[in-house]
């Protein structure tokens, strides 16, 4: 087959156009992915392919030898999943040539993700490529494309600030704790109250290595239940004030109608731990910690509004960086396309603007596209 007929493409559905309930129907379980892989391997005219299957996207990267291959792939996928072809047509996104190159670079870098700059996606793209390698479904074009995408993703993350600053309240709180205590392995955390956001914050602490967690709630049963869930210790609520000095971080999310920790409690605790800072994360409404605590030396306090504002600032900063990242990746994709383009059809190369005009469902027109 002549290279003139080859087309590099990506087709699939992502969080940009496909709501969660549809993505759930489109997602491939490991077993189904294995079965569908076998079906794709038999698809005529598909010389190389890889499948990126995450909770936010199902994408097929491939090299087709035939103009009808992409449509056939879609048809088989819808059949396999028992999904309406018309509905898939409505949500589907597709790019070819250099646009497909650029799309993978943006996906790998995390700038196409729902949570901009998240790093998990790079691992998922690597897994997808490893799977394709194991199944020997990739060749010279996809090999080069994927390998280069990892390299460029790393470059963008190093040279822009798209991954800097946490954008969830829980992670912002953990970041702040790290600014105070450094490593969290030896940090003692008290989770006060059983609010959902408090639990999320406690989980975020545990996921970053914090081991010393204690739970306290107005009802001891509830505290013990949560403690079991977290593999933590439980503390009777009435002992909190006396034991405050034992903890480095206090995460508050009770539903009490008034402050449950007073400046007097904290002042007394600080006399026992003068050299050690104490950090309050007050996620309760109304607030659990007396705001006057902020005036005490070596005591830090952040409430829900503070954390939400920081998360929002970080998100805005990341979005500003996305513009810069896109510019970098545009240059990288042009250079990469020059290398790959010789192996695939030159006629399939559509300039970004032209491709967008011709195909309104192009990945290039995703709602997050800034450039």
Residue 320 within binding range of another protein, rule CB under 8 A: no
| Phi, psi for residue 262 in degrees, rounded to 5 | -95, 165
Give CA–CA dist 70/143, Å, rounded: 20
Judged by CB under 8 A, which of 61, 129, 302, 337 binds another protein? 302
Judged by CB under 8 A, which stretch of 65-73, 174-182, 196-204, 233-241 contacts another protein?
174-182
Q: How far is CA 179 from CA 172, 175, 270, 283, in A?
A: 11, 6, 19, 19
Is 293 within 8 Å of 301 (Cβ atoms)?
yes
Nearest approach in angstroms of CB 180 to another protein is 5
Give CA–CA dist 137/73, Å, rounded: 15
Is 46 within 8 Å of 73 (Cβ atoms)?
yes
**Quick one: 86 or 297, whose CB is closer to another protein?**
297
Residue 280 within binding range of another protein, rule CB under 8 A: no
**Quick one: 317 or 328, whose CB is closer to another protein?**
317
Residue 268 within binding range of another protein, rule CB under 8 A: no
Residue 164 within binding range of another protein, rule CB under 8 A: yes
- Using DSSP bridges, classify how beta strands 57-64 and 7-14 pair: parallel, antiparallel or unpaired: antiparallel
Residue 215 within binding range of another protein, rule CB under 8 A: no
Judged by CB under 8 A, which stretch of 12-20, 45-53, 129-137, 310-318 contacts another protein?
310-318
Residue 140 within binding range of another protein, rule CB under 8 A: no
Residues in CB range of 209: below 8 A, 6 or more apart: 183, 184, 185
Judged by CB under 8 A, which stretch of 10-18, 111-119, 138-146, 291-299 contacts another protein?
291-299
**Quick one: 34 or 159, whose CB is closer to another protein?**
159
Judged by CB under 8 A, which stretch of 15-23, 30-38, 249-257, 299-307 contacts another protein?
299-307
Cα(first)–Cα(last) distance of the chain, in Å? 36
Nearest approach in angstroms of CB 300 to another protein is 5
**Quick one: 115 or 294, whose CB is closer to another protein?**
294
Judged by CB under 8 A, which of 28, 306, 319, 343 binds another protein? 306
Query: Which segments of 233-278 does DSSP mark as H helices, in order?
Result: 240-243, 263-272
Enzyme catalytic residues: 55
The 3-state secondary structure of 216-230, one letter per residue = ECCCHHHHHHHHHHH
Side-by-side strand order, sheet with 93-96: 46-53, 57-64, 7-14, 93-96
Judged by CB under 8 A, which of 211, 220, 317, 361 binds another protein? 317
Peptide bond into 286 cis (omega under 30): yes
Residue 310 within binding range of another protein, rule CB under 8 A: yes
| Residues making contact with another protein (CB under 8 A) | 161, 164-165, 176, 178-182, 274-277, 294, 297-298, 300, 302, 306, 310, 313, 317
């Amino acid at each position: 087959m002549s290279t003139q007929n080859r087309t590099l493409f990506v087709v699939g559905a992502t969080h940009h156009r496909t709501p969660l309930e549809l993505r759930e129907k489109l997602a491939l379980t490991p077993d189904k992915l294995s079965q569908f892989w076998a079906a794709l391997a038999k698809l005529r005219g598909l010389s190389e392919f890889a499948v990126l299957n995450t909770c936010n996207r199902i994408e097929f990267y491939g090299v087709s030898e035939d103009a009808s291959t992409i449509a056939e792939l879609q048809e088989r996928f819808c059949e396999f999943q028992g999904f309406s072809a018309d509905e898939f047509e409505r949500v589907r996104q597709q790019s070819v040539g250099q646009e497909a190159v650029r799309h993978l670079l943006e996906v790998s870098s995390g700038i196409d993700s729902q949570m901009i700059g998240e790093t998990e996606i790079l691992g998922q793209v690597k897994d997808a490529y490893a799977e394709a390698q194991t199944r020997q479904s990739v060749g010279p074009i996809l090999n080069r494309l994927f390998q280069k995408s990892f390299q460029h993703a790393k470059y963008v993350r190093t040279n822009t600030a798209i991954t800097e600053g946490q954008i969830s309240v829980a992670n912002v709180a953990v970041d702040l704790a790290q600014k105070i205590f450094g490593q969290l392995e030896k940090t003692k955390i008290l989770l006060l109250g059983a609010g959902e956001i408090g639990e999320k914050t406690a989980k975020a602490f545990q996921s970053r290595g914090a081991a010393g967690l204690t739970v306290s709630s107005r009802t001891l049963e509830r505290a013990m239940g949560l403690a079991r869930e977290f593999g933590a210790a439980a503390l009777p609520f009435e002992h909190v004030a006396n034991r405050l000095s034992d903890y480095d971080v206090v995460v508050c999310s009770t539903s009490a109608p008034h402050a449950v920790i007073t400046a007097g409690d904290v002042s007394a605790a600080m006399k026992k731990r003068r050299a050690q800072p104490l950090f309050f994360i007050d996620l309760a409404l109304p607030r659990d910690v007396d705001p006057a605590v902020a005036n005490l030396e070596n005591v830090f306090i952040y409430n829900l509004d503070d954390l939400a504002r920081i998360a929002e600032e970080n998100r805005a900063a990341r979005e500003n960086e996305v513009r810069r990242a896109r510019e970098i990746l545009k240059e990288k994709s042009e250079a990469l396309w020059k290398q790959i383009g010789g192996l695939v059809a030159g006629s399939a190369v559509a300039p970004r603007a032209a491709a967008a005009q011709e195909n309104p469902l192009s990945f290039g027109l995703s709602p997050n596209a800034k450039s």
